[in-house]
Structure 1
Amino acid sequence: MKPVQQFLNINYYLRKYLGELPEPALHPGTKQPIGPADLAAIFPMELIKQEVSLEEFIDIPDAVLDIYQKFRPTTLIRAKGLEKFLKTPARIYYKNEAVTLSGSHKINTALVQAYYNKQAGIKRLVTETGAGQWGSALSIACSLFGLKCLVYMVKVSFEQKPQRRTIMETFGAKVLASPSTTTNAGKGFLAKNPNTSGSLGMAISEAIETAAGDKQSNYALGSVLNHVLLHQTVVGQEVRQQLKDLGEKPQVMIGCCGGGSNFAGFAFPLLADQLAGKIKGVRFVGVEPDACPSMTKGEFRYDHGDTAKMTPLLKMETLGCDFVPSPIHAGGLRYHGIAPQLAFLHQRKLIETRAYDQLSCFKAAQIFAQGEGIIPAPESSHAIKAAIDEAMRCQRQRRAETIVFNLSGHGLLDLKGYEDFLAGKLK
């Protein structure tokens, strides 16, 4: 298929077909909508423009397209082994983002963010990472574009996944366990709880504090904000064309949700078609861990994106910015909130949500691995669990629906979770 040349902006479709947009981010001090000047201390202007853009499409830079061609388009695969095991009449497909340079979807936005920061004369990017997928992706992107990289890695994942740290360091990144003693925010978290397992909210606070305090550094993030979700729509646009080429019309689209970029990028292009009346009857299902159920149990209100309350206030479904999830192995899903665009859609019942415990997700992951030959990331296993549940519903109802899910990454560096699962240690 022809490579995707542009990102698709869901806000264009929300304004055109719903007549409304998600509420704006607010300045934490004045409580007024933030402007470009408020973000310029940590983001390059091109990304700030993308954050508020209402254009339907935004061009992908040529330098990014050149690197995308190493692994994009990724394959859309019929899960025949899984279908056979389940004895379901459903047709199950998965988009395989495990084959990217970093082994997950995260590289799609990491390259764009590194490119625009390089163009703006920035020397270093500072970020947070949960399981290490995002940190790995940004370290690769920084290496390719000649930038330094500093990563605050949530403490529990820093300890659970040392190989992820090795990957980041191989590409030249510096990796610190969060909370750390290198920032005022980190020192504050440790003073309150010296034994804390950390959280994405804490790591974000440390990364923003560090970036804001250095004129040669900017902040980069792997989810939540509009421009990050925008970059991931390269995935959904490919899926849309691949399904068309196969003559398939999906009934269910599924993705796991932490901050929401994986699910959003996968779902938004087809959701845009449904809003425009080009297709109908597609259900979009976001899946999260029951240990951190921001969409299924969170409140829809303004909240900070980080624990130290340094970020703008975002209108989202949230468990509270001081919420610290239990140390599950799906570290990339341990975020207290959800992207404002997804919260907006969920509130209007345009997307559905599910929440699962990690034991049932690892069971689903093993079934998928034995049927398809791929060990999925613990995060992706949540989407697999939902896909299996939908396939079994089709079996009971004797319906031959088409179910598509995003395999957001592989789990070859998450084997401690599988080890604990196989040893019966998971709850």
Structure 2
Amino acid sequence: MATRVFLSEDEMPRQWYNIAADLPSPLQPPLGPDGNPVTPEMLAPIFPMSLIEQEVSQERWIDIPEEVLSILAKWRPSPLHRAYSLEKFLGTPARIYYKNESVSPAGSHKPNTAVAQAYYNKQAGVKRLTTETGAGQWGSALAFASAQFGLECKVFMVRISFDQKPYRKLMMQTWGADCVPSPSTETQAGRDVLAKYPDTPGSLGIAISEAVEAAVTDPRGETKYSLGSVLNHVMLHQTVIGLETRKQLEKFGEKLPDIVIGCAGGGSNFAGLAFPFAHEKINGADIEIIPVEPSSCPTLTRGPFAYDLGDFSGMTPLLPMHTLGHNFVAPPIHAGGLRYHGMAPLVSQAVVEGLLNPRSIHQLECYEAAMTFARTEGIIVAPETSHAVAGAIQEATRAREEGKEKVIVFNLSGHGLVDLKGYEAYMNGELHDYEFPQEELDENLKALEGFPRAETVKSGRW
């Protein structure tokens, strides 16, 4: 019985999969302040044109440059594991598989897009990248990727995570990046927030505002902004995960999974695993695809599908997405990478279409699941990843109760070896569940008044 299945470097995907080509309803465009669609030229101060072209592409398959493949090959293809010990512990007839993205240099899935973005920026003559990061996984990944291409890197890290996760900051510094807590005094956006909320824990929306401002105000014009989730080209780059998983499942003797699960914050690791299987579902396969999010940040499960800003200060276009309001500041839960107020437009549209079945889980259940996983499979997962583990355990338990054999695949999006403070807090009884208050959500959504409405037409096929 194989425990892990590897692919050779020759079996790495040579193309990314673009789900925008297959969605039953076309993705609604990003809009500018005037309510008109954003043009590629309007995005040029922020992104290189090659990434803008991928952002708006309707091509189903997009070639991966050889220079990108050569760096991805440092750790890809990543292994697919069969979770025999977890299955035995749960007494389930389900067969549980997990795609292990923790083997990358940064310890997560994030370098899959960081390397691609650094490459395209280098090709465009960019000298410096700015970005935001929540838990620090994206900042670490972009710092690593920037070092591969000789780029400077500036990271605005959400203040609560900057304090909670000092080793992420040190990882970024080791790869040559400059990491500062957000909100900071280095940008007007940061100074404005600090003047009004001096004790704020920060948010990804605020950090995005700072990173975008730092890019567009560079007097030399040598700086671009890089985003680790949410946008179409980021989802695209991550599909190597699901494309590899399909081949590996075949080597395990499985045709297709019954259930596909990933944690969901901005949407990148979830989409990376799920979108290639959503392609199968669009073409008739019977697959349940579940994005799992924190109950304290219930974007997909409680947020409306609407046009909203991608950042706190209004420096980004309006995007069609499930949102809690761009002024949302999440409680300081330890899954810092899942504290974003919105969801990727492609993931949101797939939910509208009925392709996905989102759910939310409280952090205590997630940590309990992570402890179970560590004591059976041996891997200490990131707090974000624990949501996918918890979802997989829920589904495996349901399979046991129903007496049904099912094939469950989830994305182990990152390890938690630099996130052990959260585990310590859990074991010391210092963590608590938090239900996001409806009145606070209603207040946040008032900020959307006057924005264009997003269409929510469903195909009715699923």
One of 329, 332, 335 as aligned partner of 2:337: 332
Moved over 6 A (4+): none
| TM-score scaled by length of structure 2 | 0.90
Aligned 8 A contact 1:135 1:168 in 2: yes
Residue of structure 1 in register with 2:34 after alignment? 30
* Amino acid aligned to 2:264: C
Residues 156-195 of structure 1 mapped to structure 2, 5 A cutoff: 156-195=160-199
C-alpha separation in 1, matches of 2:212 and 2:155: 11
Residue of structure 2 in register with 1:196 after alignment? 200
- Where does structure 2 lack aligned partners over 5 or more consecutive residues? 1-6, 433-462
| TM-score scaled by length of structure 1 | 0.98
Query: Deviation digits for residues 336-356 of structure 1, max 9, x if unmatched?
Result: 010011111111211011111
Compute the displacement of 1:276 (Å): 2.2
Residue of structure 1 in register with 2:251 after alignment? 245
Query: Deviation digits for residues 226-265 of structure 1, max 9, x if unmatched?
Result: 0000000000000111112222121000000000011111
Aligned 8 A contact 2:281 2:355 in 1: no
Residue of structure 1 in register with 2:423 after alignment? 418
Residue of structure 2 in register with 1:153 after alignment? 157
* Amino acid aligned to 1:111: V
Residues 216-295 of structure 1 mapped to structure 2, 5 A cutoff: 216-248=222-254, 249-277=256-284, 280-295=285-300
C-alpha separation in 2, matches of 1:338 and 1:244: 31
Aligned 8 A contact 2:115 2:145 in 1: yes
3-state SS of 2:97 partner: strand
3-state SS of 1:352 partner: coil
3-state SS of 2:22 partner: helix
C-alpha separation in 1, matches of 2:105 and 2:37: 37
Residues 362-401 of structure 1 mapped to structure 2, 5 A cutoff: 362-401=367-406
* Amino acid aligned to 2:247: Q
* Amino acid aligned to 2:108: S
Query: Deviation digits for residues 34-79 of structure 1, max 9, x if unmatched?
Result: 1111100010000000000011111111111001111111011000
Query: Deviation digits for residues 273-319 of structure 1, max 9, x if unmatched?
Result: 22123xx2100000000111100000111000000011000000000
1:71 aligns with 2:80: no
1:82 aligns with 2:89: no
Compute the displacement of 1:101 (Å): 1.5
Compute the displacement of 1:357 (Å): 1.1
Compute the displacement of 1:401 (Å): 0.3
C-alpha separation in 1, matches of 2:100 and 2:233: 22
Residues 11-30 of structure 1 mapped to structure 2, 5 A cutoff: 11-14=20-23, 18=24, 20-27=25-32, 29-30=33-34
3-state SS of 1:378 partner: coil
Aligned 8 A contact 1:154 1:199 in 2: yes
Residue of structure 1 in register with 2:452 after alignment? none
1:5 aligns with 2:5: no
Residue of structure 1 in register with 2:144 after alignment? 140
Compute the displacement of 1:213 (Å): 0.7
Residue of structure 2 in register with 1:344 after alignment? 349
* Amino acid aligned to 2:395: E
C-alpha separation in 2, matches of 1:163 and 1:193: 26
Report how many aligned residue pairs link the two structures: 420
1:51 aligns with 2:55: yes
C-alpha separation in 1, matches of 2:211 and 2:72: 27
3-state SS of 1:270 partner: helix
Aligned 8 A contact 1:13 1:276 in 2: no
Query: Deviation digits for residues 387-426 of structure 1, max 9, x if unmatched?
Result: 0000000010000101000000000000000010111111
C-alpha separation in 1, matches of 2:175 and 2:107: 15
* Amino acid aligned to 2:346: Q
One of 345, 350, 359 as aligned partner of 1:354: 359
